[in-house]
Amino acid sequence: MPNTTMNDVINPQVMGDMISAKTEAMLKITPYAKVDTTLQGVPGDTKTVPSWKYIGDAEDVTEGAEVGLTSMKASSTTFTIKKAMKAVGITQEAINSGYGNPVDQAETQLAKAIAGKVDNDVFAAALKTSQVSGDGSSVIAYSGVVDIVDVFDEEEITDKALFINPKQLTKLRKDTEFISADKYNNNVMVSGEIGMICQSRIIPSKKVPKITAKVGASSDQGAVKITADNQKTYAGHVWDETNKAVITPAVDSYVVPETNAYYLCPCLKLEPADPETEFTETELPAVTIFLKKDTQTDHEWLPRKQTHEITTAKYYGVALTNEAKAVVGKFKA
């Protein structure tokens, strides 16, 4: 009778394929970004990509006067490919017991970890757009979504994906203009969509941040010093305007609490099924994932500990590649 090998217990190739498949299924925000694979198999770990600058709001022009021309400019963003990793250890005793199928659970947990990290990075890139609608003083409603759509300045309204916090969902569902997905008339839904308003497909996500404070200085009125005791209160709820990012403030730094907390809801212009109907094929999407190496899973057997170590990694970079296709809506929490 042939001997049972470690690969019969945990096969890295099979597990890697399973983790990759589960990761794709768990992605919530990433499906709305374009995946670029031009870096695969190419030497180097840096990428320079253009990012189109918004041309600015329209101006008042008096009768008979001529409007000035605005040049479309593209800045470049250079970033280094990073490595997202997660590892778990499973004892042979746990596998032998068969309780709860730890190998299958490891696959699921590793896939969820990688998917969550990629989604976080895509979301962070979308929030870097300079196009913002609202001041956070009004709760989400049809009128607020109309304001977001108007920022895109389209001649013909196209489909968009608007991400909202689940706690905003009840308010939006009660809006008379909201169309629930179960009432669509042969309209194809996108991943995670629960309804539509002003031709914007609504996708609830807990990754939509609730902002309760902004980065400040000790001299700012009402500034709060971050300590080990209050840091958790502000973790993931502070807006850094300089870097356009949601942060967890460091101990000994200062934040200024907002009078009214608000949600930052990114809205991305969706790529059409037929590019010729709206865009050229070379026009950049709102957010792009530059994939260097897709999900890779490795397994190591530690005989002295009778433990399996399973590691999953993904090499990629994410960038806001066309901010003209991204708008962030600020709505009162």
**The pLDDT value given to residue 96:** 85
Query: How confident is the model at residue 59, as a pLDDT?
Result: 85
- Write down the residue that tokens 């397994």 correspond to: 299
Tokens of 305: 């500990």
Q: pLDDT digits over 104-139, tens only?
A: 888 888 888 998 999 999 999 999 999 999 999 999
Contacts for 145 with CB less than 8 Å, ≥ 6 apart: 162, 197, 198, 200, 329
Is the pLDDT assigned to residue 216 strictly greater than 70? Answer: yes
pLDDT tier at 52, thresholds 50, 70, 90? low
Residue 274 has pLDDT above 70, yes or no: no
Residue 273 pLDDT greater than 80, yes or no: no
CB-side neighbour CA atoms (13 Å) of 184: 14
Based on the number of CB atoms within 10 Å of its own CB, is 209 exposed (0-12), middle (13-18) or buried (19 or more)? Answer: buried
Question: 297 pairs with which residues across the strands?
Answer: 312
pLDDT digits (tens, 9 = 90+) for 83-92: 999 999 998 8
302, amino acid identity: L
15-22 average pLDDT score: 73
- Asked if 146 and 175 count as a contact pair (C-beta separation under 8 A), the reply is no
Dig out the tokens for 313 from the structure: 């990694």
**What are the start-end ranges of the E strands in the chain?**
34-36, 46-52, 74-80, 82-91, 132-133, 160-164, 179-180, 195-197, 200-204, 210-216, 224-225, 238-240, 245-247, 254-269, 287-302, 307-320, 326-332
Rounded to an integer, the average pLDDT of 55-72 is: 84
Choose among 33, 105, 82: nearest CA to 287.
Answer: 33
Q: Report pLDDT for 130.
A: 93
Distance (Å, whole) CA 87 – CA 152: 42
CB 328 within 8 A of CB 129: yes
- Determine the pLDDT at residue 171: 93
Smallest CA-to-CA distance from 120 within 152, 163, 168 is with 163
pLDDT tens across 221-261, in order? 999 999 999 999 999 999 999 999 999 999 999 999 999 99
Rounded mean pLDDT, 71-84: 80
pLDDT-based confidence at 167, cuts 50/70/90?
very high
| Domains and their CATH numbers in the chain | 11-26+33-41+93-126 (no CATH), 132-213+260-282+326-332 (3.30.2320)
Q: What is the pLDDT of residue 209?
A: 96
Alpha-carbon gap, residue 108 to 19, rounded angstroms: 7
User: Would you say 7 and 300 are in contact if contact means Cβ atoms under 8 Å apart?
Assistant: no
Please report which confidence band the pLDDT of residue 1 belongs to, taking 50, 70 and 90 as the band edges.
very low
Query: How high is the mean pLDDT of the chain?
Result: 86
Name all contacts of 302-307 with Cβ < 8 Å and 24+ positions apart: 305/91, 306/91, 306/92, 306/93, 307/89, 307/90, 307/91, 307/92
Q: What is the pTM of this model?
A: 0.82
Phi, psi angles (nearest 5°) of residue 64: 80, -10
Q: What is the C-alpha to C-alpha distance for residues 226 and 298, in angstroms, rounded to an integer? A: 40
Residue in 288, 296, 328 with CA at minimum distance from that of residue 313: 296
Q: Hey, what are 23's tokens?
A: 């990761």
Share of the chain above pLDDT 70, in %: 88
Q: Is 19 exposed, middle or buried (0-12, 13-18, 19+ CB in 10 A)?
A: buried
